[in-house]
C-alpha cells in the first residue's frame, strides 16, 4: 500500500480523536458553569447538598438586601469602568494608528506592561495611592468606593480597548479621513463623522469586554473597596468561609444570563452595522 493511501486511511481516525479532544476540552471549561446553573435550582440549605428542585434560591437571593446591594454595586462599577476604559482606550488606539512616532514604541510597551502585570501588584499599588490622594491631598472623590473600583477595574480594560481600536484602524484606508478634510471638515468633524463610525465595532466590543472583565475583578476589588461599596465577587469570597448557599448560585446564574444578553445585543448591533458573522466573531474575541 502506498504512503498516500495510508495517510488517507489515518486521517478519519485523527479527525475523530481531535473532535473528541475538542469536546472534552469544552466539557472541562463549561462543566463548572453548568453545575452552578443546575444547583441554582437547589432547595437545600447548602450548595453542596441537593435538597430537591425548586426556585427558593432565587426567591432568597432577591429577598436578601445585601446580595442585591452588592450586585447593584458591581453593575454600577462595570458601567463606569467600561465607559472610562472605552473613552481612554479609543483615544489611545486612534493615536497609535493615526499618529505614530517615536512615542509609539514606549506607549505600546506601557500598554503591554499593564496587560501582563499581575492583578495583585496593581491592587497593592492602588490602595496606598488612593489613600494618599484621597486623604492626604484632599481629593475626596477618591474616597468613594465606586470611584475606586471603577478606576481599578479600568486599568486592564483600557489597554484591551486600545488594542482593539488600533487593530481596526490599521486595516482601514486613512485616505477616507483625508477626504473629509479636503471637503472642509474640521479635524473634530472628521473624527466624529468618519473615524469614530469606522471604529464603532471595535469600540462596542471594547465596551463589552470592559464590562464583563469588571464583573469578576475580585483581587483589585478586595483591596480598594470600602464599606458600603462591596461588589459581588468580594461578597462571594467572604461567603466561602461560612459555606456557599444556593442563593449565591442563583444570583451568579442571573449575572451569567445578563452577560449573555449583552453579548447578543452587541452581536445584533454589529450585524445591523453591516458586519458579517466572521467579522462579529473576530471583533468580540479581539481579533
Q: What is the pLDDT of residue 225?
A: 84
Q: What is the pLDDT of residue 81?
A: 93
Residues of the chain with pLDDT under 50: 1
DSSP 135: I
User: What is the per-residue pLDDT across 171-211, written as a single tens digit (0 to 9) for each?
Assistant: 776 677 777 776 767 777 777 777 778 888 788 888 888 88
pTM score > 0.85 for this model? no
- E strands, the chain, where? none
Complete DSSP assignment for 172-200: S-THHHHHHHHTT--HHHHIIIIIHHHHH
Q: What is the pLDDT of residue 285?
A: 58
Q: What is the pLDDT of residue 82?
A: 93
Do 248 and 66 meet the contact criterion of CB atoms below 8 Å apart? no
Q: What is the pLDDT of residue 4?
A: 53
Q: What is the pLDDT of residue 8?
A: 52
Do 168 and 199 meet the contact criterion of CB atoms below 8 Å apart? yes
Q: Kindly give, in sequence order, each residue whose CB lies less than 8 Å from that of residue 263, ignoring residues fewer than 6 positions away.
A: 208, 284
Q: Domain ranges in the chain?
A: 64-284
Q: What is the pLDDT of residue 133?
A: 85
Do 122 and 155 meet the contact criterion of CB atoms below 8 Å apart? yes
User: What is the per-residue pLDDT across 276-286, written as a single tens digit (0 to 9) for each?
Assistant: 666 666 666 55
Instruction: Write down the CATH superfamily of domain 64-284.
Output: MetI-like (1.10.3720.10)
Amino acid at each position: 500500500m502506498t504512503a498516500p493511501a495510508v495517510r488517507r486511511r489515518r486521517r478519519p481516525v485523527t479527525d475523530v480523536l481531535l473532535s473528541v479532544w475538542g469536546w472534552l476540552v469544552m466539557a472541562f471549561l463549561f462543566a463548572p458553569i453548568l453545575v452552578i446553573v443546575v444547583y441554582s435550582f437547589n432547595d437545600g440549605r447548602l450548595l453542596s447538598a441537593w435538597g430537591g428542585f425548586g426556585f427558593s434560591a432565587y426567591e432568597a437571593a432577591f429577598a436578601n438586601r445585601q446580595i442585591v446591594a452588592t450586585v447593584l454595586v458591581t453593575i454600577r462599577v462595570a458601567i463606569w469602568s467600561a465607559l472610562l476604559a472605552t473613552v481612554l482606550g479609543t483615544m489611545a488606539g486612534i493615536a497609535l494608528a493615526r499618529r505614530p512616532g517615536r512615542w509609539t514604541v514606549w506607549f505600546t510597551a506601557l500598554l503591554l506592561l499593564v496587560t501582563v502585570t499581575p492583578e495583585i501588584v496593581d491592587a497593592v499599588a492602588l490602595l496606598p495611592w488612593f489613600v494618599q490622594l484621597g486623604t492626604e491631598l484632599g481629593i475626596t472623590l477618591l474616597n468613594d468606593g465606586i470611584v475606586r473600583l471603577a478606576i481599578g477595574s479600568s486599568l486592564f480594560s483600557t489597554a484591551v480597548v486600545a488594542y482593539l481600536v488600533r487593530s481596526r484602524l490599521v486595516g482601514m484606508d486613512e485616505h477616507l479621513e483625508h477626504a473629509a478634510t479636503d471637503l472642509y471638515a474640521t479635524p473634530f468633524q472628521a473624527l466624529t463623522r468618519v473615524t469614530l463610525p469606522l471604529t464603532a465595532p471595535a469600540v462596542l466590543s471594547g465596551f463589552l469586554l470592559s464590562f464583563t472583565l469588571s464583573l469578576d475583578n475580585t483581587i483589585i476589588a478586595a483591596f480598594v473597596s470600602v464599606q458600603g461599596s462591596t461588589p459581588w465577587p468580594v461578597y462571594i469570597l467572604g461567603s466561602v468561609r461560612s459555606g456557599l448557599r444556593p442563593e449565591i448560585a442563583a444570583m451568579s446564574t442571573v449575572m451569567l444570563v445578563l452577560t449573555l444578553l449583552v453579548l447578543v445585543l452587541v452581536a445584533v448591533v454589529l450585524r445591523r452595522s453591516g458586519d458579517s458573522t466572521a467579522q462579529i466573531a473576530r471583533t468580540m474575541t479581539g481579533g
